[in-house]
Amino acid sequence: MKRQLILEDGHVFTGRAFGSKKEQSGEIVFNTGMTGYQEIMSDPSYSGQIITFTYPLIGNYGTNRSDFETIAPSLHGVVVKSLSPYPNHWKHSESFNDLLVRFDVPGIEGVDTRKLTKLIRDKGTVRAVICNEETSVNRVIEQLQSEDAAKNQVAKVSTTHPFSVPGSHGPKIVLIDYGAKQNIMRELLKRGCEVHVVPYNTSAKDILKENPDGVMLSNGPGDPRDIPECVDVVNNLVGKTKIFGICLGHQLLCLALGGRAVKMKFGHRGSNHPVVNLRTQTVSLTAQNHGYTIDAESLLHTPLFVTHQAVNDGSVEGVALEDGSAFSVQYHPEAAPGPSDANALFDQFLQQIRKPVKELS
């Protein structure tokens, strides 16, 4: 069955349908990763978005039960050049197509993803609709232009109830779930931490009642400016506990201390983004997924200093307080998918937790 991908600026791509049969709109973005499509599509940070995979062949190793980053994916669609009909991997339990059907996510294949990606790079991210061939293009464009952009995606993907996962005599970490990837919890548990996961709208008072050794600010979808109540919570946590922020968590820490978030033209999404550590001048390849960044100039009059910078465009990739009690990165040290170059940041967090405040550095 033929299917259309219609962009709000009037561009139309025709391809073949797979996944769910429903029509769905969303912000269309692209990911440059060559592997890890299951982890990418199940990352809560893609809530409400349509993902274009730039790698031309998707689905060749199928999907499995262990590589999910959330229980129920919340993306709005998938665009690929070629979908493999015959997955072949010893771990695979179902095809990529069957996975999208099960989670009611529409897909379109046979699209010139190279052309589509270049359009997004030139014009910036736009809204789009995956729909059936007979759907009126004019109707869809009118619909897209009249719709407001989705707000507060975090509320859609955060846990609604707190829960704990015991560790092995390690520090107690409160993980604020703004749309946390499962691999953040896996990395903490791997290090023996007791992890207490709380909803995104949990108050600072209730978090501190848990008497945590540290607080992890997770990744998540959307614009950090949509959740000012979360900014206030982070502001009330700074100085009272050790803090490590990832992606959206990084942006919230910066906003809490006076920084300013801005929307990027097309964002960073992929598993091959070089980042330089400004203190050591070493470069790591990182996994990234964000459409907003922190304005570097806005940090000049805050207690934060920039620790990491993107090699490609110079954007802020990491910050810290001078005493080391709070730090954050824009990229994903937990990877999944992606390189594990930055995985040691979890060890750095635990090292800071073990230091008395007067010895922090």
User: Catalytic residue numbers?
Assistant: 247, 332, 334
Phi-psi region of 335 (alpha: psi -120 to 50; beta: other; left: phi over 0): left
Do 69 and 41 contact (CB within 8 A), yes or no? Answer: no
Whole-number Å distance between alpha carbons of 111 and 14 = 7
Answer for the pair 235, 257: CB distance below 8 angstroms, yes or no: yes
DSSP run (H or E) holding 265: strand 261-277
Distance between CA atoms of 43 and 30, rounded to whole angstroms? 14
d(C-alpha 126, C-alpha 120), whole Å: 7
Residue 283: other Cβ atoms inside 10 A? 12
Q: Residue 100 and residue 185: Cα distance in Å, rounded?
A: 25
Tally of residues, the chain: 361
Say how many CA atoms lie within 13 Å of 17 toward its Cβ.
Answer: 18
Given the structure tokens 């001048």, which residue do they identify? 281
